[in-house]
Structure 1
Amino acid sequence: MAEMIGELVALILMAVALGMDAFSVGLGMGMYQLRLRKIFQIGIMIGIFHVLMPLFGITAGKFLSEKFGTFATFIGGALLIVLGIQMIWSSLKKEEEKIITPIGFGLIFFALSVSLDSFSVGLSLGIFGARTMLVLICFGIMATIQTWAGLLLGRKVRHWIGCYSEALGGGILLAFGFKLITVFW
């Protein structure tokens, strides 16, 4: 029993650490003018991806090398950079045309970019034989809660800084993407 509690505590801490990027990215994305219903949907979608990606990672962890996990982090960073640049670019334009928005395919793209690091962690956990259901529950719940917190805080900050909020949000995504890419090198 003590072993399972120890594993649960470790997984919760890992889920919080992985959810911090969902929080950070949610903070940036929350600076879009989002309704509460959309915030709810984004949190659920990111939670689902934080269940699917580690599941795929755990499954593949027995078969793939450590290099692939690092490559997944690089891809996630590149996707966040694209999202950040797009947000900054659209804040500088007068028109309301956006290339990527958290709707439809844009939401899936956004959730995937935030969840790729959980795939990498899933690879490691698959190699070490972690309890799959425990991992998925912890990762999914924490990512959802932290995404909602980031989106709601970003929504509040948007009202404080007005028209510059989207550029700031893009800057946050851009910085986080560069942070992930520098880990790759």
Structure 2
Amino acid sequence: MGYLELLLIGVGLAMDAFAVSICKGLNMKTINKKHCFIIALFFGGFQALMPFIGWLAGIQFEHYIKAFDHWIAFVLLVVIGGHMVVEVLRGEDEEDEVCLCAAEAAEEHLDIKELFLLAIATSIDALAVGVTFAFLQVNIVPAIIIIGSVTFVISAAGVFIGNIFGSKYKSRAELAGGIILILLGIKILLEHLGIV
């Protein structure tokens, strides 16, 4: 898997963190750069940690499922991406509750416990992608550096965007992220089948 693909996966995975970061920026009267850095660090750090944990779990089972690993990668990416797209199309209230909770806590201080829980919640998809990385024998160090860095930058941008524009772009970002993951899953499957 090349750096461009890892970058695209990083962007796709970062969309949940981006949406919550927008919410964090909503109630900031002015941008607090320290808070922005901490939010981005939490989301970027967990987006790097979770694929590593998934990769560690995946390498334990790699030799058992080598023959159909590309199907697993395809299914995981399509399911994760599809779930993101469906959430946007249905306009689920869960995202709004997370947004409301994040926005309420963003105004004057950061609740580190809440930020920790939000970082875990927005990086669960990355855990499954980490399992996929093990099956595809992806070099995990550059993968987690790219994913974590991309999420850090996108989350920081989300805080600023939330402060300036509000939640206008939240659902569009989620939709784009889901589509990217679905397309990458299809590409992996087609490559392993020798079609592309």
Unaligned stretches of 5+ in structure 1?
1-9
- CA distance in structure 2 between the partners assigned to 1:97 and 1:20 by the alignment: 24
Letter in 2 for 1:173: E
Q: Unaligned stretches of 5+ in structure 2?
A: 26-34, 103-113, 190-196
Residues 15-62 of structure 1: CA distance to partner in whole angstroms, max 9, x if unpaired? 434323244444333212153323211111111012122333333332
- Percent identity for Structure 1 against Structure 2: 12
2:12 to 10, 16, 21: 21
> Which residue type is aligned with residue 50 of structure 1?
P
Cα deviations across residues 50-98 of structure 1 (Å, max 9, x unaligned)?
Answer: 212233333333222232222211332244346643479629xxx9368
- The equivalences for 1:33-52 within 5 A come to 33=24, 35-36=35-36, 37-52=38-53
* Residues in 2 aligned to 1:136 and 1:146: alpha-carbon distance in whole angstroms: 15
CA contact (8 A) 2:54 2:131 kept: yes
Corresponding position of 2:21:
30
Select 1:69's aligned residue among 67, 73, 80: 73
Q: Deviations over 1:93-138 (max 9, x none)?
A: xx9368xxx745443231022443343232111xxxx6xxxx2221
Cα distance in 2 for partners of 1:180, 1:19 equals 9
Q: Is the 8 A contact 2:22 2:161 kept in 1?
A: yes
Contact 1:69 1:123 in 2 (8 A): yes
Task: Write the distance in 1 (CA, Å) between the matches of 2:141 and 2:73.
Answer: 21
Q: 93, 96, 120: which is aligned to 1:108?
A: 120
1:55 aligns to what? 56
- Structure 1 counterpart of 2:161: 157
What TM-score results when the alignment is normalised by the length of structure 1? 0.65
The one-letter code sitting in structure 2 at the alignment partner of 1:56 is A
Q: Any conservation in 2 of the 1:79–1:113 contact (CA below 8 Å)?
A: no
2:148 corresponding residue in structure 1: 144
Q: Which moved more, 1:153-162 or 1:78-87?
A: 78-87
What is the rounded CA distance, in whole Å, between the counterparts of 1:87 and 1:43 in structure 2? 25
Q: May I ask how many residue pairs the two structures share in their alignment?
A: 160
**Equivalent residue letter for 1:16:** L
Alpha carbons of 1:172 and 1:42: their partners in 2 closer, same or farther (altered >3 Å)?
A: same
Code of the residue aligned with 1:31 in structure 2: it is: I
Q: TM-score, normalised by structure 2?
A: 0.62
Contact kept? 2:9, 2:180, Cα under 8 Å: no
